[in-house]
Homo-oligomer: A and B are copies of this chain.
Amino acid sequence: MYKTNYLKQFVQQVFEKIGCSRENADTISEILLRAEERGISSHGMIRVKDYYQMYKAGRINTKPEIKIKRETPSTAVVDGGGGFGMVAAKQSMEIAIEKAEKAGSGWVSTRNSNHFGIAGYYAMMALEKDMIGVAMTNANSLVAPTFSKSRMLGTNPIAVAVPAGKFPPYVADFATTPIARGKLAIKGKKGERMEDGFVQDKQGNPSDDPDIIKEGGAILPLGGDRLHGSHKGYCLNSIVDIFSAVFSGANFGPFVPPQVPYLPLPEEQVGTGLGHFFGAMRIDGFQEKDEFKRRMDQWMETFKSSESAEGKPSVLIPGEPEREAEQKSASEGIHLLEPIQKDLKEVADELDIPFEIK
């Protein structure tokens, strides 16, 4: 088990060493560790080596200038300067929040960015300001639209955070696919097969092979097949792509640059980098603050009191599992799998920074 602060300081050193400002290295380490704390390890320390290698491949600008390129009182387009996604994303969400302070709401579409970690982090930034937060991002293409045999869209997550009163906030943060890429990889390593409704082969036929992505296959949209509403998952997924990239001038759909160094950039580019979309709305734009929170508490009480089906766990409010994970990691620390520890040690050695294998 690692202490959060130990890992945070390590990540900070890595990113400072490769040229990031102290403040930006701080942002990156804070967001990667927040993912670990919330039990979303697929977006945590495992990314350090990927990010480092993206930098080594010359695909990341460690000294980006983040600029507002266009704006109205409640909307803006931000250019992320080709830096690490967290840096552009945090500043973009800050701009959305500033706009909301004056105009009631703020909406920012960001281009020329990269992988930004957990969408929930940015949505949750709004909570401290008594605002509702929204964050989404496109990602490199792994998902086939309904009827298509090609990978045209990413797993394009959406996060929405809503403040409550006596209860913890509502925080939904989910990919718009039935399964995440990382979970498929784990199934593959275990030699397990997939049930229907998750992946297809390169011809577009249903597949039970968790490694089918490596052979030109694709993940299905949320819903699985057409019968079960995959066209709705495709709608949702493509809305994220359009808001993040068509609005901002980033690459969309199959043109989104992969965020791992061993996958080449697509030959054609239709914009710069990948794209995100952020929103903030003041709760007192809708109700008196106390009344808003009272109503949100009442919503949560209603859903928590919903009776579970036999043999099922209790009904959850979005955000509960991640909050439980946070409590656990606060008391127990953060566990890293051996291969991840080794990867981090490798990065540490290259950069001449200490890192302790546990």
Q: Residues on A close to B: CB < 8 A?
A: 70-77, 102-105, 107, 109, 144-150, 152, 158, 160, 162, 170, 172, 174-179, 195, 197-198, 200, 203-205, 222-224, 227-229, 231-236, 238-239, 241-242, 246-249, 252-255, 270-271, 281-282, 285-287, 292, 295-296, 298-299, 302-303, 306-310, 312-316, 318
Contact = CB atoms under 8 A, between A and B. Distances in A.
B147 A315 contact: yes
Contact of A306 (B145, B172, B314): B145
Given A287-B247, A296-B242, A315-B148, A310 B204 contact: yes
Nearest to A77: B286
Contacts of A72: 103-105, 282, 285
A241 B298 CA distance: 13
Nearest to A249: B287
A150 B223 contact: no
A77 B283 CA distance: 11
Contacts of A170: 238, 242
B103 A246 contact: no
B152 A303 contact: yes
A161 to B, nearest CB: 10
Given A204-B309, A246-B162, A74 B104 contact: yes
Contacts of A205: 309-310
Given A75-B105, A282-B75, A227 B195 contact: yes
A146 B253 contact: no
Contacts of A178: 223, 228-229, 232
A14 to B, nearest CB: 33
A95 to B, nearest CB: 13
A253 to B, nearest CB: 5
A11 to B, nearest CB: 29
Nearest 6 interchain pairs by C-beta: A204-B309, A72-B104, A75-B285, A172-B235, A75-B104, A178-B229
Contact of A176 (B232, B286, B292): B232
The residue among A77, A281, A285 with the most chain B CB atoms within 10 A of its own CB is A285
B246 A203 contact: no
Contact of A253 (B77, B103, B152, B303): B303
Contacts of A255: 302
A315 B252 CA distance: 17
Nearest to A195: B227
